[in-house]
C-alpha cells in the first residue's frame, strides 16, 4: 500500500510545489491513517488543513479506498 500512497502523493506534489509548498509521506498505520508532513509554503499556511483534507485526503481515498484519514505531523 505504501507504494500506491507514494504514487498518489507524487501526482499531487506538482500542484503544491507550484505554490511554494511540498508534501512528504511519513508513515501509514495498519488502520489506514496516512501521516504526511507539509513543507515549504504549506507549513504553517492557514489554508493547509483545507488543502490536506479537501485535496490530499480526498485524492488518496479516491485512489486507495482503504485509507481512512490523512493527518499532518
Give the span between the Cα atoms of 58 and 62, in whole angstroms: 6
> Which residues does 1 contact at the CB level (< 8 Å), separation at least 6?
28, 64, 66
pLDDT of residue 6: 96
pLDDT digits (tens, 9 = 90+) for 19-35: 899 999 999 999 999 99
pLDDT tier for residue 70 given thresholds of 50, 70 and 90: very high
Name the architecture of domain 2-72.
2-Layer Sandwich (3.30)
Amino acid at each position: 500500500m505504501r507504494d500506491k500512497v507514494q504514487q498518489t502523493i507524487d501526482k499531487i506534489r506538482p500542484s503544491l510545489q507550484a505554490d511554494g509548498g511540498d508534501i512528504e509521506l511519513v508513515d501509514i498505520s495498519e488502520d489506514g491513517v496516512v501521516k504526511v508532513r507539509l513543507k515549504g509554503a504549506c507549513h504553517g499556511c492557514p489554508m493547509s488543513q483545507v488543502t490536506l483534507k479537501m485535496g490530499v485526503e480526498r485524492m488518496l481515498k479516491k485512489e486507495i479506498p482503504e485509507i481512512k484519514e490523512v493527518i499532518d505531523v
